[in-house]
Amino acid sequence: MENETVQPKVNPSVPLEENVTFVLPRPLPTALFCVGLALFLGFLSDCSSLLPLNVANIIWQINSLERVFNEASIPMLSFILMLSGVWLNNAVNGTKNKILGWICGLISLVIGVSLLLAVPLYLKNINFAYRIKSEEILNQRKIDKPAPRSELAEKYDASLKELSDTVYRNVLRFGTNGVVMGGALVLLGIFGIRQTRDRADVGFTCVTCGSSKVRLSQMNANEQSLATFTRIHTFRCEDCSRRFRKFSITGKPFPFFF
Ligand SMILES: [Zn+2]
């Protein structure tokens, strides 16, 4: 990311109008990247306090997941900063730092997917722990046999209510955090990886002339329903007008999201 020149470098392979004309402070992309990286390393070192792993213990699982969900905004923020640094650097220099962008995108994607997968596990565990704990309270109540409306009976009612309130609050707070931050990290990761690809690298090319100027074609009713159910879309080459069908999740001229 370091560059000795003060002015933005003009990339001769890019047409002049695509070269960036505004001047950004040179250290800004590097600073953004470093702050992001520092935040992420801080998050990792914080996670190391969860060691030693005690995966068989449900309570340990719940506590660890709650901590990770609680701090999930930190990796999200750190990847926004790191990727912004990479993208700004690309914009300023008119180049593409593919490896760095790709690595950041991939790590962000992996962490995001892990967070999203951890949410159902967390819900299952907390439901299990809730049942055990409330059974414990009910069993103790059976042993004590408090008289109806006695102080002891009210105490049992209160502790049951507190237990369910706590579970509800935690599920809402940590579960939502996990889903939102996980989703944001996945999107960020996809963006990061997409930015490293040149469209021509992944896009469909014409089956006849090999042109990369391929657009989604006007589709008739049959083609439309084929596209809706199988995601096989009809594309048209802008150079030779050849129409052809290809699988594409989004209907854009490349198979997947990136
Ligand atoms: Zn063609």
Q: How far is the CA of 220 from the centre of ligand 1 (A)?
A: 20
Q: Which residues of 178-187 are buried (b: 16+ CB within 10 A; e: fewer)?
A: beebbebbbe
Q: Comparing C-alpha atoms, which of 68, 52, 81 is closest to residue 119?
A: 68
Question: Do 130 and 250 have their domain in common?
Answer: no
Percent of the chain exceeding pLDDT 70 equals 87
What confidence tier does 22 reach under pLDDT thresholds 50, 70, 90?
Answer: low
pLDDT at 6 over 50: no
Q: How far is the CA of 210 from the centre of ligand 1 (A)?
A: 6
- In a domain, residue 15? The reply is no
- In a domain, residue 10? The reply is no
Q: What is the distance between the alpha carbons of residues 249 and 228, in angstroms, rounded to a whole number?
A: 10
Rounded to an integer, the average pLDDT of 170-177 is 91
pLDDT at 210: 82
Q: pTM of the full predicted structure? A: 0.67
What confidence tier does 234 reach under pLDDT thresholds 50, 70, 90?
Answer: very high
- In a domain, residue 110? The reply is yes
- In a domain, residue 208? The reply is yes
Question: Do 102 and 230 have their domain in common?
Answer: no
Q: What is the distance between the alpha carbons of residues 69 and 228, in angstroms, rounded to a whole number?
A: 36
Q: How far is the CA of 235 from the centre of ligand 1 (A)?
A: 10
Question: Do 111 and 228 have their domain in common?
Answer: no
Q: How far is the CA of 15 from the centre of ligand 1 (A)?
A: 24
Which residues have beta carbons under 5 A from ligand 1 (an ion)? 206, 208-209, 211, 237, 239-240, 242
Kindly report, residue by residue over 117-155, the tens digit of the pLDDT. 999 999 999 999 999 999 998 888 888 877 778 888 888
Q: How far is the CA of 213 from the centre of ligand 1 (A)?
A: 8
Q: How far is the CA of 122 from the centre of ligand 1 (A)?
A: 52
For residues 214 and 204, the answer to whether their CB atoms sit within 8 Å is: yes
Residue owning tokens 């042993």: 143
Q: How far is the CA of 194 from the centre of ligand 1 (A)?
A: 25
Contacts of 222 (CB under 8 A, 6+ apart): none
Domain boundary among 196, 221, 244: 196
- In a domain, residue 238? The reply is yes
Q: How far is the CA of 3 from the centre of ligand 1 (A)?
A: 41
Domain housing 229:
199-258
Query: Could you tell me which residues are beta bridge partners of residue 231?
Result: none
- In a domain, residue 4? The reply is no
Q: How far is the CA of 39 from the centre of ligand 1 (A)?
A: 48
What's the mean pLDDT when you consider all of the chain? 84
Number of domains the chain contains: 2
Question: Do 163 and 223 have their domain in common?
Answer: no
Which two tokens mark 28?
């800004």
Question: Do 93 and 161 have their domain in common?
Answer: yes
Q: How far is the CA of 247 from the centre of ligand 1 (A)?
A: 18
Q: How far is the CA of 119 from the centre of ligand 1 (A)?
A: 47
Question: Do 190 and 215 have their domain in common?
Answer: no
Question: Do 38 and 79 have their domain in common?
Answer: yes
Question: Do 84 and 209 have their domain in common?
Answer: no
pLDDT at 4: 44
Q: How far is the CA of 195 from the centre of ligand 1 (A)?
A: 26
Assign 217 to helix, strand or coil.
coil
- In a domain, residue 229? The reply is yes
Question: Do 54 and 159 have their domain in common?
Answer: yes
Question: Do 163 and 232 have their domain in common?
Answer: no
Q: How far is the CA of 95 from the centre of ligand 1 (A)?
A: 29
Q: How far is the CA of 12 from the centre of ligand 1 (A)?
A: 28
Size of the chain, expressed as the number of residues it contains: 258
- In a domain, residue 54? The reply is yes
Question: Do 227 and 190 have their domain in common?
Answer: no
Question: Do 245 and 184 have their domain in common?
Answer: no
